[in-house]
Structure formats: C-alpha cells, structure tokens
Chains A and B, each alone.
Chain A
Amino acid sequence: MLFYEPLFLFLFLPVTFGLCWLTRQLAWIRLPLLLVASLVFYAWGEPGFVPVVIASALLDYSLAKFIARGAGWAMAVGVVANLAILVVYKYSYFLVANVLSVAAPAEVTYVPRIALPIGVSFVVFEKITYLVDVARRRSPPASSFAQYLTYVLFFPKLLAGPIIKYYEIEAQFRRHPAPRETMVLDGFRRFMLGVIKKVMLADVLGTAADATFDLPPIGVGFADAWWGVILFTLQIYLDFSAYSDMAIGLASMFGFRLRENFDMPYISCSITEFWRRWHISLSTWIRDYLYIPLGGNRVAPWRVYLNLWLCFLASGLWHGAAWTFLLWGAYNGLFLMLDRLFLLRLLDRMPRVLANAITLVIIMVGWVVFRAGSMAQLRAFLVAMMHPALRGGTVGWNPDTVVALVAGLAIALGPRLPKISRAVAGSMATARSRFAWETVTLLLFAVSLCKAAADPFKPFLYFRF
C-alpha cells in the first residue's frame, strides 16, 4: 500500500487517523492502535515477512536486556541476525548467481529468487540502531515489546524511510503524547505537499525517464542520454523527498516528530556537501554506525580514505543487490576521497555557481550508474553522454513532462538563487499570504487526488469491437 494509492488515501489513512484522533485522550490505547495499524499496513504489503520481523524484533528485544548489561556476545548475535535477514532476502540471489556464474558458468541456467520484502533495508538498519544505541547507553532498552515493535513497524516510515535511529525517537515512543491540533495540521500540510510532489511531478518525470532508460543500448543518442539523466536526476529527488515529506507529515499527524531527510541537495557545491544534504538519515546512519566504529577520522589518513570508500561501497550495496549499485557506491566513495585530497579546496576557490554545476554533473553521472539496468546500458549511456554527434532522438516529450521538468528544476535549483529563496520566504510572512499558498496547495492536492484515483483507469478503444 503506497501513500498515494486510493486504498491508502481514502480508506487506510482516514480510518486509522480517525480512530487515533477519537481515542487521543485514552493514553493506554494510543500505542496499541498504532501498532495494529502498522501491522495491518505491513501485512497488506508483505504478510509472509511479518512473522520474520516479529520474531526478529523479539530477539532484539530479548538481547537488548543483555546488551544493556554489557554482554558483547548479545550485541554480536543481534547484529549478525539482523544482517542475516538482509543477506537472505536481499543479497542471496545476487551472491549465489554471481558465485555460480564464476564457479560453473556453463551449468547455471536458473537461480531461484526470494521475493524482496518491502522496506527490508530500512527495517534492518533501524533494528541495528536499537541494539547499538542500547550498547552505547544512548537509550535504555524498550520498556515493552509492543513499544519496540511499534518503533520497528511504525507505518509512516516503513516503506522508504527516513531511517529513524532509536535514540532519536525512543523518548517519543515512551511518552507518546496525544497528537496536538497544530501537529496534525502541520503534518497534513506536509503530507499534501508530498502527495503533490509524488503524483504530479515525480511520477510524470519517472514515466519519461523510464522511456529513455528503456531504449536499447544501441539506440541511445547524445540528446536521449542527457534528457534521460536530467529527468532521472529530478525524478529520484522529487520521488524520494516526496516520500520523506509524506512520512514526516504522517508521523506528525500521529504525534511523532521525525528528522528531515533532505536539505536542498542539488545546490551542493561538493560531493561531501551533497551527502550532508541527501538522504540525511542514511548518511548519518553510516557515519554513526559504520564509519565511526571503523575508526572515523582518528586513524591514519590512508585508513580514513579506505573507511570512507568502504562505507560508500556499503551504502551502494544497501540500495540494491546489483553491480551497478556497488559501482555507484564506489563512485561516490571515490569523490569523497578526492574531496579530502584536493577537490574540496579546488571547488571552494571557484564561484559558487560553477562549483554547484560541477558537483551536479558529478552527481548526474552517478545517477546514470545508479539507474542503469545493466553494465551494457551504463556503458551506452556514458558513451552517448560524451559524444554529441551520436544521433538518437527517439524519445518523445509530453507537455506534462515539460511542466514537471520546469517545476522540478525550480524546486531543486531555485534555492541556489538567494533572491528567490528570500522572495518565497517573504511571501509566507503574513497570515493572508500563507492562506493563499495553502489554498494553492489545496487545489493542487485535489488535482493530485483525482490523478491518483484516475491513473489506474486504463480504458482502451476496442470495446466497440
């Protein structure tokens, strides 16, 4: 169940929120209600995985009591058990297929694939934070299993994050105050923005980007490649940040504050800055739970570079079990190393706009690696992007793509222009202007709802025949 599907918008959300709002004064029912709603939400998407998550959460919950007393073995068991889930569900096919293709390439005809449970990477990383935070004494063990399970399955962040560190939210789960009107209204406002971004911009750009990336490698021309990359660059940002907006908004409606996950990443002037602004919850997870345990900045320079690179290799693998993701991680790790060696100093000396443009090109090339369906496609895109003479021109434009592109560019790059940022901020200064903005948001939300309801309707002509 996705946040912009009619089933969620018109059934799950009104019913769940309605029940929670009506029972907001009954402290004892708030958390169980949220847990039941989260279980239903997750079971709808992945019923087979629910018992695995519950069993695994039960193990975490049991081990945490030992971890709190300093038992290293419990910590090791917990982390290995969680990583095992990830390995089995996400990486087993990739590992087995690659090992077999090297060991006995002629005999590999079919490798069975285990269905990837929705949000498994987010769930596992969050569960690990619980164990580590307890071990580091940043948080006490959860006071009840229900509380911990609600943290694990909390539906607003279940599908696409943000990755919530246990220590960041533990107090909120422990106290879980009744949602206040302002939080609900702010949350719904944010949710509306997320739905608009997702339905009216990201999906439109995504359709056009898919058309380009569906081209056979031999048919990719210079213009096609750049068009596809620009579209995908905007799509991935708008799509992912829209999910974060929806998640943060929904959480707020239910009385929880989640941290921001994006901070205008495309105005970054270096890759280091980009990773401070992009998918912040993952970058900080990697920093807190991987980079620092590996030694952080306190080791010899060559180890720092190696650790950085390893962390981003892991980040790439976290995004998906494919060589392209691994390569994307390595690519980002490489630029982070180069930043430390010389690139950051070089970019700092440049005009901001130029540094931003260079960074953006590096990011876009990275997105080609990320989006490519195969190494052959990756090669075709990179070659096409560097050869202006390569003719293609087989991908069409639709007016809605152009509108979404312009809006996407304004959202992604507009903040680079200080006057525009100030003008936007100024236009929100008075109650009257805020009301005007919110009215526009309401209208766009209504259009988005219609689009979300109408898009599954795919009539075809031949009903007459």
Chain B
Amino acid sequence: MPQWIQRLPVLLGMGLLVCPWLIPVVNWIGQTAGQPAPLIQEGALHGVENPLEPPVYASDALWSHQFREAFAAEFDHDLPMLTWAVEFKNQLYYWLLHQSGIDTVVIGKHRQLLEPGYVDEYCFREPQVILRHADEWAAQLAQIQAWYAAEGKVFVYVITPSKVATYPQYIPALQPCPAPPTARDALGPLWDATLDRHGVRYVDAAALTRAAAPNFPFEMFPLGGTHWNEVAATMATQAVIDSINQAPTPWKLQPFTFTWTMAPPVGISRDLTDLLNVPYPRLDWKAPQTQVAPIPPAWGCAPTDLAVVGGSFTYEILWTLDKLPCPPTVRFYSYFVANQAIYPGDIRGPVVSDERDRKLIAESKIVILEENEVLTLRSNHGPLLYDLLAAHKAMLEADHPPKR
C-alpha cells in the first residue's frame, strides 16, 4: 500500500479541522465569479436558543470572562457547518441509538416524541405532596372568581392535559418511573374534588380529553408533537364556552359544532419533530384538522372582550375561537409575563404590563386562567394573576374602606 494512502485517514482528519472555513471561501469564489446564490447552502435549524449576548469589542471588556464566553458562544453559533453538524449528529443518534440528540426531546416507545419535563413530572408525581396546598390555591381561585363575579364578569379556570399523562404507555423503556400508577392518576380527580368543594368554575380538559380519546380513530396527541391535537383542543374550547355561557352574566360566546379531516402535520402538530433537527425522521402520521360551524341560531356579532392567562396549550383554544364567524377579542398573556398575543389576527408582541393589568382588572368581560396538569399547584402565572387582583382589591379597600 503506498505511503500516501496509509497516511490518508490522518491527513483527512486534519483536513476536517479546516473544512468549515472552506464553505465561506467556496461561496465567496462563487460570488466573485458571478454566482448569485451561495454554492454551498445550509438548511436552517429548528428551535431557538436563548439569545446570545454579543461580545463587546472594547479594550476594557476584552479581559473579562463575559467577553470570552460571548466570543466563544458566537463562534460556535456562527460555525459555517453548524447546521450539518447538528443534523448529522442528531440523525446518527436517531438511527443508531433510537435516541434524541438534544436534551429537550426524548423518544418514547413506538417512536413517540415526548418532552422530558412532562415525562419526569408524571413519573415522579406525588399527589399527596403536590396537593398539600390545594385548598389554599382553590380558595384563591374561588376568590378570583368572586371578585370578577362582583363586577358582573366571568372567570373560568381550565386544566389542560399532558401527553405523557394521557398516554403513559409511551414512556421510554429506560425511564425510571417510581410513582405508582394509581397515585399518579389520582392527582386530577383529587384536584377536581377540591375545586368542586370551593365552588370554582372550571373545565378539566385533561379528563375530558382522556374520556373522549376512545371515540376517535386517532390519538389526542400527535406522534411528533407535545401539544394536544386540534380535535382535543376544539372539544376543550366547546367545554369552555359552555362553562362561560352557564355563568349568570350577559357575556356569552357562540357555541359551535365541529368536523375534522386528516392532513399531514404542520406547525404545532410536529413541534417536537422539528425540534429534533433530524433530516430523515421517518415519522409518518397525519393530524386531524377541525372545521367549526356555529350552532344555529347564529348570534348577532358583538365581539366580547376576553383576557387569558396561561401556557402554550392555550394557543390552540384561542385559534379555535378565532375560527368562529364572530370571534371574541382576545388578549392572551403567555405565562403572565412571557409575551402577549392579540386575536383576531394572532399578533404577537412583548407584554406591556400596564395594559395587561388594565385588561385583566377592568376591561375584559371574561377571564380565563389555564394551567397544564404538569403545573397543577406549581405554576407561576396563576399566583401572579391572583397577586395582581389581590393587590388591586387591597388598594381599593384602602381608598374606600367597607362600611360597617
């Protein structure tokens, strides 16, 4: 064997270290030769990272740890072959090990994609620990409801389901799951009973989804996604509307029926698939898409003001409401502080706290608080809503003390 061939693997290994720099060079040569598009193109990665702090190129900043960390992070992020590296690594993990290459997705049984946070929550769920302060939080929810009712408004508390709790059979085989199944599944009924005891108006969409699941020829969560499908979200929306309309206030929403058709998954139905950043996921499934029709008689269109505080599952409820012929005007405050969305139109932006407080305290006629079951009694956004209203009430009482 000639010596140069014997040396080839090592020389190619050395070449790999300069490979990333060949990509911009080749593209530059192409551009100078009049090629409008880059000769070597990379795809885009899905998912976002926490925003990078750009390095500050100033003489006093150069010596700081922050500069070096920012420079290294920017260097890693701007590597010309980052997309290929991520996709190659993740594909290899996926094919050879049946494992996700990123730690925000796990591959469950039957190739179901799951979020590790949901798996851990379910597997280590201890209702007796979680429900220690159940009465306290239920009483606060009842208080929120009473405060809104005193002003002629409606408050509804919505519990949304977790994929893992709905389909525990997909938990990965190597995942430890010390909590006994009966204890895990007791959380929902026990929490519902506490809410009933305190007279809270609520929709347990988790229980609703699980009860409805056998009636459909597909599962209530997509194979490659973490959020419920459109059918589950639409049924929950129906239940929320029923709950609002049963309240003794003039604020009502148009009830509706729905039909569904199956279509290739897009958007939220394949969120975890996209996040895997695997070019060939070999996940073949279809997701239901719903079409809604108002239940006659159709109402005159007078859009109602709705303010919603909740997590990511809420979006699908709001998208369903947005499909109505006369959709309500909605302000959604994701996790209270994260960002806001305005409907109709799904216009996203940062939360303006003054405006949010005004909407939640004074302007909205219907207020919805959504908590996913993985956050039952552990969410931050629920208590933040309570704190806002409690502070407002305390201020009012200080200005106008109740007469004895």
Contact = CB atoms under 8 A, between A and B. Distances in A.
Interface stretch (A53-61, A145-153, A457-465): A457-465
Given A14-B18, A393-B178, A456 B97 contact: no
A465 B340 CA distance: 9
Q: Is the contact region of chain B dominated by helix, strand, or loop, or is it mixed? A: helix
A405 interface: no
Contacts of B172: 396
B81 A453 contact: yes
Interface residues of A, number: 52
A445 interface: yes
Contacts of A403: 97
B49 A458 contact: yes
B167 to A, nearest CB: 18
Given A188-B10, A188-B14, A461-B275, A399 B178 contact: no
Given A6-B75, A459-B277, A442 B18 contact: no
B190 interface: no
A11 B18 CA distance: 8
A454 interface: yes
A431 B334 CA distance: 63
A461 B81 contact: no
Contacts of A457: 45, 49, 76-77, 82, 86, 102
Nearest to B91: A450
B89 A447 contact: yes
Interface in B132-172: 172
B76 A7 contact: yes
A5 interface: yes
Given A458-B49, A463-B47, A396 B176 contact: yes
A387 interface: no
A461 B90 contact: no
Nearest to A224: B176
Counting chain A CB atoms within 10 Å of each CB, the highest count among B13, B16, B84, B98 belongs to B13
Contact of A453 (B8, B79, B176): B79
Nearest to B5: A435
A459 B104 CA distance: 8
Contacts of B71: 7
A453 B76 contact: yes
B351 to A, nearest CB: 13
A439 B9 contact: yes
A459 B9 contact: no
A458 B176 contact: no
Contacts of A400: 93, 97, 99
Interface string B375-390: 0000000000000000
Contact of A462 (B7, B81, B312): B312
Interface string A388-431: 00000111111110010000000000000000000000000001
Interface in A314-339: none
Nearest to B311: A465
A446 B18 CA distance: 12
Contacts, number: 157
Contacts of A462: 312
B72 A7 contact: yes
A48 interface: yes
A210 to B, nearest CB: 13
A447 B92 contact: yes
A434 B5 CA distance: 11
B37 interface: no
A453 B115 CA distance: 23
B312 A453 contact: no
A44 B267 contact: no
Given A454-B86, A461-B271, A465-B312, A394 B178 contact: yes
Contacts of A445: 13, 16
A461 B21 CA distance: 30
Contacts of A70: none
A333 to B, nearest CB: 37
Interface string B85-127: 1101110110001110111100000000001000000001000
B63 interface: yes
Contact of B85 (A5, A44, A48, A453): A453
B48 interface: yes
A8 to B, nearest CB: 10
B180 to A, nearest CB: 13
B237 interface: no
B374 to A, nearest CB: 14
B117 to A, nearest CB: 10
Contacts of B272: 461
Interface in B64-85: 68, 71-73, 75-77, 79, 81-82, 84-85
Contacts of B47: 459-461, 463
B131 to A, nearest CB: 21
23 contacts: A6-B75, A9-B17, A10-B17, A14-B17, A395-B176, A398-B174, A400-B97, A431-B1, A442-B12, A445-B16, A447-B89, A449-B17, A450-B86, A450-B92, A453-B79, A453-B82, A454-B85, A456-B76, A457-B82, A458-B50, A460-B104, A461-B271, A464-B271
Interface of B: 1, 5-14, 16-18, 20-21, 45-50, 63, 68, 71-73, 75-77, 79, 81-82, 84-86, 88-90, 92-93, 97-99, 101-104, 115, 124, 172, 174-176, 178, 226, 267-268, 271-272, 275, 277, 312, 315, 334, 338-339
